[in-house]
Structure 1
Amino acid sequence: MKRLSVGFVALVVAVGAACAQEKKTATITITAPDAGYKDTILKVDGTAVSGSGGKFTFTTPALESGKEYKFKVEALIEPNNYTKITRPREVTVKAGDAATLDLTKEDKALDKIVVRWVPTPNDIVDEMAKMAKVNKNDVIFDPGCGDAVMLIRPMKLLGAKKGIGIDIDPKMVKKAQEKAMEEGVAEKVVIKEGDILNEKDMAIASEASVVLIYIGDDLGARMAPVLQKLLKPGTRIVSHRFKLGDWKPDRTVTVRGADGDEYVLHYWEVKEKK
């Protein structure tokens, strides 16, 4: 009887140890932006995860019980055909967990936004300058200036005294500088490499009396607080198509371009700081 008891206890211990070492998977349900967006590309630890309607489900490999595991999740989000947002996150799970991760909300510290340059038609640039009432005393600033058309045309046609632009792409900076030289306004234009989300790079905006912008909603929303902080009262801002986050425009108009298309322009005037 004693031998049987000892054997039974040994069996229970062995079964218990086996159970303790049993491995289980975990599931991570991920929600990404969907409405009005192109298909989001989602990866977990570098492996693509299929999904639809902004919903993705990732099943982990078998995990040891009692341990925590971190998985790196990265979504490539395209709200339009020239804006790409890379949204990285980490999620921690244990064996058997059913975790959720919401990627619909931005994190300014982690999200990376890249905008492909798309030129504004010349006649629409002229309409923007007209809306801003550009004159010979104005200094124009263009964040994300591309080829600097929004600086060059107001200087050539309306006599603005100076143009300032920054662009994150060194190739575009060089192109803008070359175009300013070709158009004979190089001595009146300052083009620098810089990040519009970096307040230090944007410091040159404080000199501006007019800001002309064509940039996506996502970047515009991130840039708005920087503009509000740096620009002096009375500075006029005109944006082609896109708004500046929660900063409500003073006026919005629709103009018809030479190509027959309609273009929306938004206007702000910087108020006295409280």
Structure 2
Amino acid sequence: MNHLRPDIGYIPTALDLVNAMLALANVNSNDILYDLGSGDGRVAIAAAQQCGARGVGIDIDPERIRIAKENAFLAGVSDRVEFRQQNLFECDFSDATVIFLYLLPHLNLKLVPQLFCQLKPGTRIVSHDFDIGNWKPDRTIQMISSEDEESTLYYWVMPEDIPQV
């Protein structure tokens, strides 16, 4: 594994925002959720605990992966989630039914070709705080987290036809 540096620093998402994101995407036990830039694993773990979904976290930082695996074990969901140390721009997430993003706008845009190449129509995408260029979201929600932070949640459903982004 080559030792690449993360493109952004790690900022954990408040748990009430994680819950709002899961609700927005209507995550359920039939879903395979990918969290791209998964940090400590809280999104995939919450999806497994609360919704019965399977979760896959992708992060380039080996320390974040170690912590996420430990957190999954402590939460009792190691059988439903996995964490992979990978460059998210080189990973295969084609089996995803839900994608979660908390990346900067330029990174979201860089992901667009992969999203449209790999994801099936109907796959749900939720992004915390950052849109995806001029791809109009199906829903946008403004909220204030329990940590008193203003956040925007963006929600898209992968269309049959590729929009111009």
Aligned match for 2:137, one of 231, 243, 249: 249
What is the aligned partner in structure 2 of residue 176 from structure 1?
Answer: 68
What is the aligned partner in structure 2 of residue 167 from structure 1?
Answer: 59
What is the aligned partner in structure 1 of residue 10 from structure 2?
Answer: 117
Taking structure 1 as reference, are residues 268 and 187 closer, same or farther at Cα in structure 2, changes over 3 Å only?
same
Superposition map of 1:1-274 within 5 A: 114-160=7-53, 162-198=54-90, 201=91, 203=92, 205-273=93-161
Q: Alpha-carbon deviations, 1:198-220, whole Å to 9, x = none?
A: 2xx2x1x1111111111111111
Q: Determine the C-alpha separation between the residues in 1 that align with 2:41 and 2:139.
A: 25
Taking structure 1 as reference, are residues 113 and 167 closer, same or farther at Cα in structure 2, changes over 3 Å only?
closer
Q: Determine the C-alpha separation between the residues in 2 that align with 1:152 and 1:243.
A: 24
Contact 1:223 / 1:244 at 8 angstroms: preserved in 2?
Answer: no
Q: Shift of residue 157 of structure 1?
A: 1.3
Q: Shift of residue 193 of structure 1?
A: 1.1
Q: Determine the C-alpha separation between the residues in 2 that align with 1:261 and 1:167.
A: 24
Q: Alpha-carbon deviations, 1:93-121, whole Å to 9, x = none?
A: xxxxxxxxxxxxxxxxxxx9711110000
What is the aligned partner in structure 2 of residue 12 from structure 1?
Answer: none
Q: Aligned letter for 1:248?
A: K
Q: Alpha-carbon deviations, 1:176-198, whole Å to 9, x = none?
A: 11111111101111211111222
- 2:7 partner SS: strand
- 1:137 partner SS: coil
Q: TM-score if structure 1 supplies the norm length?
A: 0.55
Q: Aligned letter for 1:119?
A: P
Taking structure 1 as reference, are residues 171 and 248 closer, same or farther at Cα in structure 2, changes over 3 Å only?
same
Q: Aligned letter for 1:227?
A: L
Higher relative CO (Cα under 8 Å, sequence separation at least 6) belongs to 2
Taking structure 1 as reference, are residues 157 and 252 closer, same or farther at Cα in structure 2, changes over 3 Å only?
same
Q: Aligned letter for 2:86?
A: G
What is the aligned partner in structure 2 of residue 89 from structure 1?
Answer: none
Q: Which has the larger radius of gyration?
A: 1
Aligned identity (percent) is: 38
Q: Shift of residue 273 of structure 1?
A: 4.4
C-alpha RMSD of matched pairs (Å):
1.6
Contact 2:6 / 2:61 at 8 angstroms: preserved in 1?
Answer: no
- 1:173 partner SS: helix
Q: Which aligned segments of 4 or more residues in structure 1 are displaced greater than 3 angstroms?
A: none
Q: TM-score if structure 2 supplies the norm length?
A: 0.89
Q: Determine the C-alpha separation between the residues in 1 that align with 2:99 and 2:161.
A: 18
Q: Shift of residue 261 of structure 1?
A: 3.1
- 1:115 partner SS: coil
Q: Shift of residue 237 of structure 1?
A: 0.7
Q: Determine the C-alpha separation between the residues in 1 that align with 2:153 and 2:126.
A: 7
Q: Shift of residue 271 of structure 1?
A: 1.1
What is the aligned partner in structure 2 of residue 22 from structure 1?
Answer: none
